Each structure stands twice: as structure tokens, then as C-alpha cells.
Structure 1
Amino acid sequence: MKSSQELDWHISQFLEANQEAMIEDAKGLIRINSVGLAYNPGSSQPFGEGCSSVLDEAIRLMQREKLDVTDFDGYGVKGELAASERGSIGFFAHLDVVPEGGDWSFPPYEPFVRDGYLFGRGAMDNKAAAVAALYVLKFFADSKLPLGHGLYLFLGCNEENGMRDIRHFLSRHEPPQFGIVPDAYFPLCFAEKGMLRADFEGEVADGNLLAFNGGTEYNVVPAAASAILRDVDPEHARQVLPGSFTVEALPEGIRITASGKAGHAAFPEGTDNAAVKLAAALAAHGLVRGSRTLRALAFVQECFASPYGHGLGIAFRDMSGEATVNAAVRMENGRLRLLCDIRYGVTQEKSGIQQLLEEAAARYGMRLTRTEDSPPHYIAPDDPIAAALCDLANRELGTNQPPYAMGGITHARWLPRAAAFGPLRRDKPSPFPAGRGGGHQPDEAMYLEAIWEAFQIYVKAVLVIDKLLSEEKEQN
């Protein structure tokens, strides 16, 4: 192909011939409930049957395209178009999804297309993009465009809950010369906040709280929460609680349910944590007894009412934006447990955060029991490849946006030279109501036109990266 016009024509022809197949492949992946289960190291299914099944489907698709397939012990799978002694360019996407939660308008694992959107859990995060990357490899195989470097796609199954997938991959495989992670927005993400997961625990067996359940995942803002109380008159509870709460009489007492707005913990704007809302209401209206129970609920209410860390004393802002916090809350064996997700700034000191968490917990009779850290990621915006990719995206999309930082985390943070790069657009508002249609939300959907645009950008990105890597090697 001698010109950009000729390349554009070939890409257009390829998409015309393959769009329907791409949609069907994405639907096939979405139909598989690939919520990761409890980590089971050493098992052939380390993240459960659903994740194993979706990797089996990915292997089938890769083998259909005659890629060289490597299964990384159930953590993920790599499909390689070609290897090279000069190193490789790698795409990294994930096939695990967060739990579907409630309040869907349709069954989350029965995908369909409507009004130009592909609907279903995982459509946006991250299965449609994974298929787009697979077809980039198919494009280069079909077109026989020469590359000076290898090209592969890695699909993992633990991105949402620990990123053991890519860490396992890197324990057995050299990193790429450059990695493209299609799990964010264009034009290019140059910084990802650090992510600290923290577990808190405190006793709540001294009162009339029998159960509390609000959320199951660290990184999902709970859309619903419920508590069971004994020795509370249901009519009294209905009178004192606002209309957004429901009260149900049970043989053992009453169940109170609160509704919120779900969303990704890293992007709390427009969300409403139902667990925090419920804890505040139970205490404010005198429905809960027991000094330890009240202190634990006050911890939930006061330390997590602000999604920006003010209650915990860890509020912070730098080039990567504001620190954010989220908590899922559950009660087990007379103890209240909080699963806390903290996204901290690229320049924020992690050790200082942990000390402040311990101090905040102690003030409420709680205890910090576990932390797990994923350090921040940064690639200089003037890195030659990063700058070229940013320019490419802006040129192709007709935008003029700078590279950005975000609270979301991707596989890029574990790679020495990589960036999250599309397929979403920051300049296009969502047509869905707040709390719906996005990743980690009910009625998740992916705009198909964005996938077709991203596919074209990814093909050209491979050529740009291949050229710049070759030039760097010549200069060195």
C-alpha cells in the first residue's frame, strides 16, 4: 500500500466485509457470564468456570484466525500473528466482567444491537474492544502488510479484581516493545492513578442489627443495600424513613432497603453509594442500637460520604485528578466488613495514605485488616510513540484534545512502555440517563461506530509504532 488513501480504502473494505462477524463474535463473548470468582491458585480455572469458558471461546476465535495460541494456565490467552527477534507490539484487553447487579432493562447476558449500540454486560468493558483488537491482527494477516516487529493480542481474565492475569503473563513472557490497551478513551491516557484496596472490620454484635449487605465488589459503587433489624416496628420505620427507602416485615424483624446509583468506583460523579446512604439513615432515625454498631455505621457514613477522601483525611489532587474512595459493605458473623477502593494520585505517597486509614478506623473502633496496592502508571506525554499515537487519534477523529490522566486502571500499568488508548471518546456525551449504559452500570452498551473508528486507528497505530520502534533501534 503506497498511500494513506489506499490504506484507508483497504480498511474500509475490510470493515465492510467483517463488521457483522465482529458483532457476532462480541455477542458470543458477552453471552458468557465471566464474572471472576474467588481466586483459586493452582487450579485449571483460577477465576471460576465463567472465566474459563470465555477464554475457551477466545481460543476458538484465535484458532479460527490461524493465530499461534498460548494458554497461560487459565489466567489469559495470547494469540500471535507473527514473532520477531526485534520484539513485538502487543494489544492487551480483558474478558472478565464485574457482577451484573440489578436494575437492568433486559437480561445482561443476552446481547443485542439497537440504535447503533451493542448492549450487554461487558460490551463496553471490555469485550467489544477485545474483538476489535483481534480483527486488527486479522487485517494484517489478510493484507500481508509487512511489519518489522511481532504482533500479538493478550486477553486476560482478572483485570477487574487484582490483575493477576497480566502479572502471570509477564512472569512467563517478555513484555512487548510497546503495549496498546484498548480499555479507555482517546486520544491517549498518559497517567493512571494508583489503586489501593483496603479491608476494614469491626464488631456489630452488640445491638439489633442482624444483617447488612451493600455491594459485592471493590470497584463498583453499590446501587442497592439492605439491612435486617430486630425489635423495630415496621410502621415506625416507614414513617421516619424517606420515600426512597422500602420497609418489609420479616419473621425475624424488618428489612430496610436503600437504592442508589451504580457506577465505576474510579468515576464517582453522578453515583450514589446505597450502602453509605443506608448506614446514615439507620443511625439518623434511631433504628439501630448498640454503641459498637453505631460507631461502625458512623464510620461508613462519615468516612465514605465524600467519594473524594475527605472523611478519611486522604483528599488529594494532582495532574491525575482527585483521589477517590468507594466502599462495599457487608456483615458476616457479627462483624461489619468494608471493601474499600482508593484511587490515589500519581504523586501521592501511598505509605501516608495507609497511616491515615489506620488512624481513621481506630477512631470508630474499626480495624484495617488488609491492603493491596497497584502503583500508579505514567508514560511521558512527549514519549515519541505516545505523542505520535495522541496525534494520530486526534487527526483521525477530527479532535484537538490533549493526553489525559484518569482514575481507572488498566493493564498498561504493569507494562514498561504502554498506554491505554481508546476505543471510547471523551467528546461524545452518553445518550443514557445518569448511572446507566456505561461500564460497571446496568444496561451497559458500546457505540458500534466508536469500535469501527477505533479499529481504523489501531491498524494505523501498529504501523506508526512499528516504524518508530525501528527508528529507535537504528539510532541506538
Structure 2
Amino acid sequence: MDIKEQIHGLTEEMLTNLGRLVAIDSQLGTPAEGKPFGEGPAKALEEGLKIAQELGFKTVNLDNYCGYAEMGEGDEIVGIAGHLDIVPVGGDWSYDPFKLTREGDYVYGRGTTDDKGPVLEALYAMKLLRDSGVKLNKRVRLIMGCNEETGSKCMEHYNEVAEELSCGFTPDASFPCIHGEKGLLQMMAYSKNTKIISADGGFVFNAVCDSSTIVVPAEEGLKERLEAVLAETKLQEYKVTEENGQISIYAKGVPAHASTPTLGVNAIGVTFECLEKAGFKDDFVEFYNTHIGTSCDGEGIGLKFADEYGELTLCNGMIKTENDVISCTIDIRVPVTLKSDEVRRMCESRLDDENGRIEILGIGDALFFPRESPLVNALYKAYTDVTGDTENKPMVIGGGTYAKSLKNIIAFGPEKPGIDYRIHSADEFILVSGMEEAVLVYMEAIKNLLAI
């Protein structure tokens, strides 16, 4: 039996185990004794380590921050770091997000691609290598983290209590290979004066707002003008209602990850743009449209910039009203050649005026490995050898992964170029054929890393 047949023979078992993980709501919860990220992430880690034990691996739980499954011997460690926590469900699902649902090659559920499925792909790659008798001159360690989506404190803990990795990858991005990750700049925008009665939209910081409801005072003819301009937008759905002297605007946009906001339609941005076009005069509407807007390029705050590896992107994910103040989240992905002090200088004069203010929450530096580095070459070769795809090249992405938290690793798969797996959106899925191919790619990758 050749290796592809062996992998195919394990597919049902892999899907059964993936179903065990998907069934656990592992969103960030309320911290408790011995459970730093709450009940769900701790339960997912317990189940992930249990699956690894059933497959014959030694496992270690690092205080429910993270844990690992390991094989081989030696001082050096080839590390594979994936995560078992998930973002909130959000959106309108066609399937139960916590029940694995298969339709042909498609398997739906929250975490199927981000990142429970890839964790299992790597685990089964390790199993098949071990069972094949490949000489392991290094240890191979699959780390399962519990806090990637909300801060990666799990990897901070790993760095405090466990050994440094010699080389490795995180299966939490795209093929063929990621040799750079943009820096992350997070901001909050606040109103100073506004007539807006209430604003509510979005469900997570790092995704384009897919729906919002904005309530404003009624004005003569405003409802009709709003309906006219909303009809010209790319919203999937909208509804304008007027009663008791108030106008409520519901807008449904198109979700997208914050690293690729131009793939989405921001319900908040479109609504504010339409309010202005309909003649609604408001200080914060003006501030939003001039500073944030719908262009996603950061020009409104002086941050429009691009280098040879990509453009700066801006995403407004959430909006809310609290104590008569509107706040908006801003997630910016910064090109790899732009340093944090440069970013501050570029935008500092554009963050405050009479209509609103923007506060910088934090700036994280980019990650970059030269294309010709041994790590990049080893992983890219594994991908091309298995798939035959030499057209797609190693790339820089806007997303952030564990590669920024652990030394000597980069992001590697499993998403294939040109496919939207709907991560951070409704109806997230993984392809069964893609899972099988990824297992083989990861087997080759581990062998290549053992040879470095």
C-alpha cells in the first residue's frame, strides 16, 4: 500500500477525531483555577492530548495554557505549533458550528480549518512517519495552544516553562509557504459629539463587520433618502425602519478576515457612508468617514503605504455605544519593512480633532525570514514535491500566527491558494481531499526539517 492509500485509509478516523474537537466550544472563557482561558479551551486541550495518547504519543499538559505530543530523541526539537481555541461563531450558519457536517468533499464546523483540522493533519503526519520507521535524529513536538485568537499568552507560557524549538512551522495559514507576517497595529476610535442614538455591530476585532444596526433621530425625508443610497451599495441586505421619532438602519455586509478586508463589505462603513450621502449631518459620521471609511488602506489616518511584500490594510471590526460614546475597533496590518516608530510618526497628527479621537492600543513588529533561508527552502520544497505546484511562491501575509511568538518557525499551510475556507466567518470548512494532501505535505516537511 503506498502512502497516499495509507492516508486515505485513515481519513474516517481523522474526521471522527476532528468531530470530537469541533464539538467543544473553545472560545476564550472566564479564567478559573488551573484554567487560564476558561473551561472550553482547557477541555479542547484535554481532548487533543487524549487523541494524541490514543495514537501512541507521549503527551505533556503545560498548565492548561498549552500542551504537546512528542516522538523521537535528541537535544534538538522540530516544532509544530497549532491552536485549539476558536473565534466566536458569529454570522448566519447553514450548519451547526459545533457539529462536524460533511457534504461530499466539504466538512463544515467552527475550527475545521482554523485550526483544529490542521492540528490533526500534523498529528497524523507524525504518526505515519513514526510507523514507517523513519530515523528521528531530533525530537518532533506538536504543540497545541489555547489562546492564539486572543493574544497567544499560551506561547508566552510555553517559552517560560519549555524548551526552545530548533526549527518548525505552524499549520495556521496558507500554502505554499509564509516567509513573512505583517506587523499588527490595534486602535480604538471614539466619538466626542454625536446625534447617533445607538450603534451596534460586529462580533470580533479581527474580522470585517458583517452586520450592524445604527439608530439615529428621524428627519424629514431621511428614511427615503437612505433607502435610495443603500440600494446602490454592495450590502447583502438592509432594512430602514422609522418609528417613535427614530430611524433604525440594519445592514448586512460580507465578512472577511482582518488581514484581507477588501474581500469583505463592512456594514458599519457602508452605513456611515450612506448616512452622509443621505444628508445626515453628524460630527462622528464625518470623523468616521474621513478617518476610517470604506477604502481599507489607512489613508484617512496617514498610513497609506506599500512595500514589495504588500500593502497596509485597515479593518473596522466592531462598533458599540456605551455611556453615550461610540467606539470602533481598528485592526491594521503593517508591511514588513515598516517599523513601529515609523508608524507612530506617520499617523500621530491625524488621530484627534473636534469630532473624534483614535487611541493606539499597541503595535507589534513584523516577522520576516529571507526567501533563501534553509527553513523556507525546506518547507517550500515539501510543498512543491507533493503538489507539483511551482507557480505559487513563498509569500508575506497580513495574518498573524504563532510564528511571532515562538523562535525559528514560520507559517506553513494548510489553506490552498485561491480557496476561501471562510475562517472567522459562517460556514467555515475544510476539504477532505485537502486534508489528505496536507498530511503528506507535512510528512515531507518534517523529514526535510530533520535534515537541516
TM-score, normalising length: structure 2: 0.91
Q: 2: distance between equivalents of 1:162 and 1:24?
A: 29
2:11 to 16, 19, 36: 19
Q: Deviations over 1:112-132 (max 9, x none)?
A: 111201111211211111111
1:398–1:360 CA distance, 2 compared to 1 (3 A): same
Structure 1 residue 70, shift from structure 2 partner? 2.1
Count of aligned pairs between the two proteins: 442
Counting only pairs closer than 5 Å after superposition, residues 113-132 of structure 1 correspond to structure 2 as 113-132=102-121
Q: Quick check: 1:412 aligned with 2:409?
A: no
Aligned residues of 1:238 and 1:246 also touching (Cα < 8 A): no
Partner of 2:87: 98
Which ranges of structure 1 fall in alignment gaps of 5 or more residues? 1-8, 289-293, 431-435, 469-476
1:237 partner amino acid: K
Q: Which runs of 4+ in 1 moved over 4 A?
A: 230-233, 249-252
Q: Quick check: 1:343 aligned with 2:343?
A: no
Partner of 1:59: 49
1:454 partner amino acid: A
Partner of 2:207: 220
Partner of 2:223: 237
Q: Quick check: 1:444 aligned with 2:428?
A: yes
1:115–1:302 CA distance, 2 compared to 1 (3 A): farther
Structure 1 residue 265, shift from structure 2 partner? 0.7
Q: Quick check: 1:379 aligned with 2:365?
A: no
Q: 1: distance between equivalents of 2:367 and 2:169?
A: 14
Aligned residues of 1:203 and 1:334 also touching (Cα < 8 A): no
Q: 1: distance between equivalents of 2:212 and 2:310?
A: 29
Which ranges of structure 2 fall in alignment gaps of 5 or more residues? 232-236
Aligned residues of 2:339 and 2:365 also touching (Cα < 8 A): no
Partner of 1:261: 254
The range that moved more, 149-158 or 346-355, is: 346-355
Aligned residues of 2:414 and 2:438 also touching (Cα < 8 A): yes
Counting only pairs closer than 5 Å after superposition, residues 145-294 of structure 1 correspond to structure 2 as 145-204=134-193, 207=195, 209-231=196-218, 236-241=222-227, 242-243=230-231, 244-249=237-242, 253-287=246-280, 294=282
Partner of 1:138: 127
Q: 2: distance between equivalents of 1:344 and 1:239?
A: 38
Structure 1 residue 449, shift from structure 2 partner? 1.1
Counting only pairs closer than 5 Å after superposition, residues 2-17 of structure 1 correspond to structure 2 as 9=1, 11-17=3-9
Partner of 1:474: none
1:452 partner amino acid: E
Aligned residues of 1:260 and 1:273 also touching (Cα < 8 A): yes
Partner of 1:302: 290
The range that moved more, 67-76 or 415-424, is: 67-76
Structure 1 residue 402, shift from structure 2 partner? 2.1
Counting only pairs closer than 5 Å after superposition, residues 13-52 of structure 1 correspond to structure 2 as 13-37=5-29, 40=31, 43-52=33-42
Q: Deviations over 1:40-84 (max 9, x none)?
A: 4x7533323322222222122122223222222232221222442
Q: 1: distance between equivalents of 2:354 and 2:107?
A: 46
Structure 1 residue 282, shift from structure 2 partner? 2.8
Q: 2: distance between equivalents of 1:65 and 1:221?
A: 39
Structure 1 residue 386, shift from structure 2 partner? 1.7
Partner of 2:234: none
Structure 1 residue 379, shift from structure 2 partner? 1.3
Structure 1 residue 238, shift from structure 2 partner? 4.5
Structure 1 residue 404, shift from structure 2 partner? 1.1
Structure 1 residue 338, shift from structure 2 partner? 1.7
1:315–1:411 CA distance, 2 compared to 1 (3 A): same
Aligned residues of 2:77 and 2:140 also touching (Cα < 8 A): yes
Partner of 1:464: 448
TM-score, normalising length: structure 1: 0.86
1:75 to 50, 65, 73: 65
Aligned residues of 2:72 and 2:136 also touching (Cα < 8 A): no
Structure 1 residue 322, shift from structure 2 partner? 0.4
Name the SS for the 2:114 alignment partner: helix
Structure 1 residue 229, shift from structure 2 partner? 3.0
Q: Deviations over 1:428-461 (max 9, x none)?
A: x33xxxxx74212221111121111111111121
Aligned residues of 1:220 and 1:265 also touching (Cα < 8 A): yes
Q: Deviations over 1:189-210 (max 9, x none)?
A: 1111111112232334x53x22
1:48–1:284 CA distance, 2 compared to 1 (3 A): farther
Q: Deviations over 1:162-205 (max 9, x none)?
A: 2222222112122211121111222211111111112232334x
1:377–1:392 CA distance, 2 compared to 1 (3 A): same
Aligned residues of 1:88 and 1:177 also touching (Cα < 8 A): yes
Q: 2: distance between equivalents of 1:74 and 1:286?
A: 54
Partner of 1:394: 384
Q: Considering only aligned residues, what root-mean-square deviation do their CA atoms show, in Å?
A: 2.3
Aligned residues of 2:223 and 2:242 also touching (Cα < 8 A): no
1:329–1:189 CA distance, 2 compared to 1 (3 A): same
Q: 2: distance between equivalents of 1:364 and 1:323?
A: 26
Q: Deviations over 1:278-337 (max 9, x none)?
A: 22223332446xxxxx23222322222211212221111113200111112221111111
1:31 partner amino acid: A
Structure 1 residue 104, shift from structure 2 partner? 2.1
Structure 1 residue 21, shift from structure 2 partner? 0.7
Q: 1: distance between equivalents of 2:260 and 2:296?
A: 9
1:418 partner amino acid: I
Aligned residues of 1:190 and 1:419 also touching (Cα < 8 A): yes
